[in-house]
Amino acid sequence: MLTATLENLINRGLPRSPRAQQLCTSLTGKSVAIAIRDIVRVRVTSTGQTLTVTLDEQAADATLAGGPLALLALLGDAPEAVVQRGDVAITGDAEVAQAFRELATLLRPDPEEELSLALGDVPAHQLARLARLSAGWSRKAASTTLQNLAEYLGHERSDLVPRNEGEQFLRGVDALREGVDRLSARLELLAQRRGAS
């Protein structure tokens, strides 16, 4: 049931994207395994026209293994950083893995559109709008909470140094370091002059 739902979800976007169709055709017979550590292993295979999803342990041309959030981060703006940090391990053919990543990016479903298929356009739009507002409010609340906590720890309890005091201290350290460097250069110059005379 899960595999059929995933197949329908990713294949629904194929007719809308000529690039995705081209990639699907070029990947005919190729597969990528996505192993969510300690949870599940899914294998996605291209038939040339569609993608099939299976839960099995068969060999794949490329394998991506990592935690669920790290694997989702591969679809973000900086997938190379995720791999470099070691959050996701790629084994097998890296070109196949990259092609499937591009295909996944192109076929990423739009939640509002998927909701509209189940609920209708107006309720889906309203729910998506509510979700965006909730996410924005949550980010703002979290940011405000962190800022208040930092101010409390810095000003009330003096557990942290307030930002302006820390920056002022660092500027003083830099000025002192420059002064010591200048003094050292002068002493060296005086020592050279004294040695010459």
Residue-wise pLDDT for 52-65, tens only, equals: 888 888 888 888 88
pLDDT (average), residues 90-104: 85
**pLDDT at residue 82 in the model:** 72
Asked whether the predicted pLDDT for residue 24 surpasses 80, the reply is yes
**pLDDT at residue 111 in the model:** 67
Domain ranges of the chain: 2-109, 113-196
| 25: its two tokens | 């055709």
**pLDDT at residue 114 in the model:** 66
Provide the pLDDT confidence category of residue 171 given band limits of 50, 70 and 90.
very high
**pLDDT at residue 173 in the model:** 93
Residue-wise pLDDT for 105-140, tens only, equals: 787 766 667 667 677 778 777 887 888 888 888 889
**pLDDT at residue 132 in the model:** 80
* Residue that wins the pLDDT comparison between 85 and 79: 85
* Residue that wins the pLDDT comparison between 182 and 131: 182
Residue closest to 165 by CA, chosen among 150, 146, 181:
150
Q: Is the domain 2-109 a CATH 3.30.1050.10 member?
A: yes
Give the angle 6-12-8 at the CA atoms, nearest 5°: 30
**pLDDT at residue 176 in the model:** 94
Extract long-range pairs of 75-79: CB within 8 Å, 24+ residues apart. Answer: 75/101, 75/104, 75/105, 75/108
Asked whether the predicted pLDDT for residue 9 surpasses 80, the reply is no
| 125: its two tokens | 């739009």
* Rounded Cα distance, 131 and 127, in Å: 6
Asked whether the predicted pLDDT for residue 35 surpasses 90, the reply is no
**pLDDT at residue 91 in the model:** 85
- Residues of the chain with pLDDT > 70, as a percent, come to 95
* Rounded Cα distance, 148 and 129, in Å: 28
